[in-house]
Structure 1
Amino acid sequence: MKDWLRKHPDVRTIRVAAADLNGQARGKRVPARFADNVVKSGTRFPFSVLNLDIWGEDIDDSPLVFEQGDQDGILKPTERGFMPMPWLEAPTALLPIWMFRENGTPYEGDPRHALATVVNRFKAKGLTPVCAMELEFFLIDDSGKNLQAPASPRSGKVRKAAETLSIRALDAFDTFFTDLYDACEAMDIPADTTTSETGLGQFEVNLMHCDDALRAADDAWLFKMLVKGLARRHGFAASFMAKPYPEYSGSGLHTHFSVIDEKGDNVFDSGGPKGTAMMKNAVAGCLNAMHDSALIFAPHQNSYERLVPGKHAPTAIAWGYENRTAAIRIPAGNPTARRIEHRVAGGDVNPYLMLAAILGAALDGIEQQMEAPSPIVGNAYAVEGLAQIPTSWEAAIDALEQSEIVSRFIHPELIKNLVSTKRQEHHYIGELTDAERTELYLDTV
């Protein structure tokens, strides 16, 4: 880590940052000359900082605050090390960190540790998840009273309709995307294909598959930070909020995953299109936990405006082969790449919690050898009798709080903290106008 700073003598300051339960970066600014202290000893801030609401306020009656004296945790650098922050004007380095207790054990309320716990359970069975993510986001001109797509830097024109898979739409923002890919390379984020999507000013960037789930979640978290920061340098906003425009589809964060064994073989590969029994166990586990873990996939009030029938987001708890109307899709293609696509999460999620919930549920299904129901053929929105993903924020909060399933793979303390956070947000967001809610979510999520 010290070598990176020596190779970048122009860096004058660093940011040390951890992800809170909402995926917000919480941390400190430190002069680069004191970076050695952070690398050697870590830094400190209260446990409660990872359990703030979307405004950055303490949670009312949280035991982490007054009851426990608002004690400090110790935050140590992750394996990622230093990286540049290309969206800032001055040369600056980011050092991702995560939280531990004074005795060196991981803090159970840290979302990155939640994912690490699930990954370690896979490792104990000689298994390794391989993950890739597709992140959708909107480019937005938020300078006026109403949101709209930003004017193209090339033509000065505003794109007023969805242009699915449009090369013209990509070319209109070529300067931004060129800078974005250069920044991803500098930050070692494996950005692959970009497409224009079905929303107004909406795009999707795929991140390459990775056999390190923690790194995959890091990539998604860092990518969201980068896109939002870089867009502002270009004179507009970028947002991962689930649904900024009521009349257009929202933004998802689809996750593809397979599992390899100690020999490097894909345990979902049956040699044909149907996949193995273990793959179907994993599918069953994901379906079994989907209702109770909906709050993790749809964490905000605005999230539930995306989860409506016929708008490219799943509503029924179902799976199918090569079927994008289902919550779980098994893509076609070479059997050696057989994988599960989990399509529920919105772009507004915390990637660490999302991946912990997906992989934890899949492993739960594998361990218990759960049997998947029959795959859906055709339009899942039109199939009667299917269990449904919660349709409201309040219902999802209740479901997670009462769940016995999710507590099998996510620590009860983190669940309790998350539920308390969302209950507080639910209360105060009810006092806001639609415009105030949009403004809140536009920049935060």
Structure 2
Amino acid sequence: MNWLHDHPDVRTIRVAAADLNGVARGKRLPARFADKVFTEGTRFPYSVMNLDIWGEDVEDSPLVFESGDADGLLMPTERGFLPMPWLSAPTALLPIWMFHMDGTPYAGDPRQALARVVERYKALGLTPVVATELEFFLIDDSGKTLRVPPSPRSGKRRTGGEVLSLRALDAFDIFFSQLYDACEAMDIPADTAISEAGPGQFEINLSHQPDPLKAADDSWLFKMLVKGLARAHGFAASFMAKPYDEWPGNGMHMHFSVLDAEGSNIFNDGTPQGSDQMRHAVAGCLAAMSGSALIFAPHENSYDRLVPDAHAPTGIAWAYENRTSALRIPASGPQARRIEHRVAGGDVNPYLMIAAILGAALIGIEDKIEAPEPIKGNAYALDLPQMPTDWEEAIDAFQNCEIMPRIFDRELITNFAMTKRQELHYMAELSDQEQTELYLDTV
């Protein structure tokens, strides 16, 4: 409440939680009633955490009519109030998460799912260190065809991709300057920005931090901020996996290492190869790759990105300093030895993504799973086990995977699979253009 006291110009607040698709669900209320959220919480139906991508109830979900569409209790997270710089009026956002009425965490909440994985690490005296890299397109969607917005500086449109181009960054300098100011105000550790391979495509890295929940919060809030700020500038920003058929899609890569109780990186053994525990973590991630593909590619459009020779991994393999593999061990000093997980699209729910990766890595460490030999060369040209190639295959793999119940509560597994099967059914009624219009802002 001190934050509101220090910002008397804030007249309204939003309370919001991430549903299984990562969509913000919440309420608007006058700032003078904010203290009630801290003392009493607020209530949503449990089913709100399990809506489909259109915001509709999932048919036959046990959370709806079977249970009387009962309420859960939502309380503020440790994040507290944050400004919403993309809105014209001074407004605060209060992130919340769901509990049962007796105060126990609701396992169907994606943030609670990640907290559950983090607690398992803590019980072993371990702390994951996490960073994400988020790719997005700036898009003029005012016409029937998606285009790059004209540069506010020159008024011109750049029609091609410009990898690591300062000119492409400078063309939207006002937008990026405001974005970095907003990230600082929201305590989002935005680091390097680069232009990417697609027209109007950029990537911003969020710094490593020894708090996976904050890393997930930051990624979720960053997506909300970028999309909101772009609209304030008159164009769209999209984390959609593949908005353009002819250009590479958007990914959300994750880098992680693990610290022991003394703060030492357990992936580091002083050699470039990394420790046995690092290879066990790699093996766990590989073992869970097919089963967790639905987490990394949750929408129909996601599978347009996961095709050979499109800068997104398709084979299940790992390698040293090789961007064609699903898991990459970047060249680094020994203390920074880490794993880069390269599968997820920009359209993911960050809480579920980070939980799936860290959960799989922990299973590898706990079970001492042996990793296969790292690959060399072009992964697309090798005979490798493959990721699911379509949405329905990924849903089946998620439901049938023996590893998933060791990471996620069975209720979340059931809810997420039901949500995706409903979306799969109704998505078949939409044209490609209608699908793009749906996904462009939503994911």
Q: TM-score range by the shorter chain?
A: over 0.9
TM-score, normalising length: structure 2: 1.00
Deviation at 1:25, TM superposition (A): 0.2
* Residue 122 (1) aligns with residue 110 (2): no
- Give the corresponding residue for 2:19: 20
Pick the aligned partner of 1:400 from 382, 393, 398: 398
Structure 2 unaligned residues grouped into runs of 5+: none
2:37 paired with 1:5? no
What secondary structure is seen at the aligned counterpart in 2 of 1:81? coil
Shift of 1:17: 0.1
Name the structure 2 match of 1:277: 276
Question: Any idea what the Cα deviations from partners look like across 1:407-434, whole Å, max 9, x if unmatched?
Answer: 1111110010000000000000100000
Partner in structure 2 of residue 349 of structure 1: 348
- The residue type paired with residue 225 of structure 2 is L
What is residue 257 of structure 2 aligned with on the other side? 258
**Alignment correspondent of 1:267:** 266
Cα offset, 1:377, TM superposition: 0.5
1:427 is aligned to 425
Deviation at 1:442, TM superposition (A): 0.2
Aligned residue number for residue 327 of structure 1: 326
Distance 1:61 1:144 in 2: 38
Aligned runs of 1:233-252 on 2, under 5 Å?
Answer: 233-252=232-251
One-letter identity of the residue aligned with 2:364: G
Say if 2:62 is the partner of 1:55: no
How far 1:270 sits from its partner (Å)? 1.1
Equivalent in the alignment of 1:107: 106
Consecutive aligned runs of 4 or more in structure 1 exceeding 4 Å deviation: none
- Which residue identity lines up with residue 432 of structure 1 in the other structure? L
Cα deviation, residue 41, structure 1: 1.1
Q: Who is 2:370 aligned against?
A: 371
Per-residue deviation at 1:272?
A: 1.4
Aligned residue runs from structure 1 range 145-156, under 5 A: 145-156=144-155
**Distance across 2 between alignment mates of 1:149 and 1:40:** 47
What is the aligned partner in structure 1 of residue 438 from structure 2?
A: 440
Which secondary structure does the structure 1 equivalent of 2:64 belong to?
helix
Q: CA deviation at 1:401?
A: 1.1
Amino acid at match of 1:77: P
Select 1:387's aligned residue among 370, 385, 390. Answer: 385
Match of 1:168? 167
User: Residue 64 of structure 1 aligns to a residue in which SS?
Assistant: coil
**Secondary structure in 1 matching 2:34:** helix
CA distance in 2, matches of 1:190, 1:41: 31
Alpha-carbon distance, 1:145 to partner? 0.7
Superposed CA deviations along residues 3-45 of structure 1, whole A, max 9, x for unmatched, are 0000000000000000000000001001000000011111001
The Cα of 1:402 is off from its aligned counterpart by: 1.1
CA displacement 1:36-60 (0-9 Å, x = unmatched): 0011111001000000000000000
In structure 2, the residue corresponding to 1:204 is in which secondary structure? strand
SS in 1 for 2:137: strand
Alpha-carbon distance in 1 for matches of 2:40, 2:273:
50
TM-score by length of 1: 0.99
> What is the SS of the residue equivalent to 1:108?
coil
Post-superposition Cα deviations, 1:308-356, rounded to whole Å, max 9, x if no partner, equal 0111100000000000000000000101000000000000000000000
**Cα distance in structure 2, aligned partners of 1:233 and 1:18:** 23
Give secondary structure in 1 for the equivalent of 2:219. Answer: helix
SS, match of residue 162 in structure 2: coil
Count of residue pairs brought into register by the alignment: 443
After superposition, give the CA deviation of every residue in 1:118-174 in whole Å (9 maximum; x if it has no partner): 000000000000000000000000000100110000000001000000000000000
Q: Deviations over 1:55-114 (max 9, x none)?
A: 000000111000000000000000000010000000000000000001110001000000
Q: For 2:411, give the aligned amino acid.
A: E
Match of 1:417 in 2: 415
- The answer to whether 1:132 aligns with 2:139 is no
Q: Which amino acid is the alignment partner of residue 126 of structure 2?
A: L
Q: Which amino acid aligns with 1:261?
A: D
- Match of 1:103, as an amino acid? D
Q: Secondary structure at the match of 2:231?
A: helix
Q: Distance in 1 between matches of 2:187 and 2:94?
A: 13
For the residues of structure 1 that align with 2:301 and 2:438, how far apart are their CA atoms?
10
CA distance in 1, matches of 2:218, 2:198: 24
Read off the aligned partner of 2:292 and give its amino acid letter: S
Write the deviation string for residues 252-299 of structure 1: whole angstroms up to 9, x where unpaired: 000000000010000000111100000000000000000011000000
**What SS does the aligned partner of 1:290 have?**
coil
CA distance in 2, matches of 1:182, 1:83: 13
C-alpha separation between the residues in 2 aligned to 1:245 and 1:364?
37
Q: 2:183 matched to 1:184?
A: yes
- Superposed displacement of residue 210, structure 1: 0.7
CA distance in 2, matches of 1:223, 1:99: 21
The aligned amino acid for 1:73 is G
Q: Distance in 2 between matches of 1:208 and 1:357?
A: 20
Residue type matched to 1:169 in 2? A
Indicate the SS of the match to 1:275. coil
Quick one: which amino acid aligns to residue 230 of structure 1?
L
Measured in 2, the distance between the counterparts of 1:236 and 1:245 equals: 16
Return the alpha-carbon distance in structure 2 between the equivalents of residues 40 and 220 of structure 1. 28
* Counterpart in the other structure of 2:302: 303
Tell me, what secondary structure is at the counterpart of 1:26?
Answer: strand
How far does the alpha carbon of each residue in 1:231-263 deviate from its partner, in whole angstroms, 9 at most, with x for none? 000110000000000000000000000000010
Identical pairs, percent: 72
Distance 2:298 2:324 in 1: 21
- For residues 48 and 376 of structure 1, the distance between their equivalents in structure 2, rounded to whole angstroms, comes to 44
Residue 209 of structure 2 corresponds to 210
- Residue 200 of structure 1 and its aligned partner are, at CA, apart by 1.5
CA RMSD across the alignment: 0.4
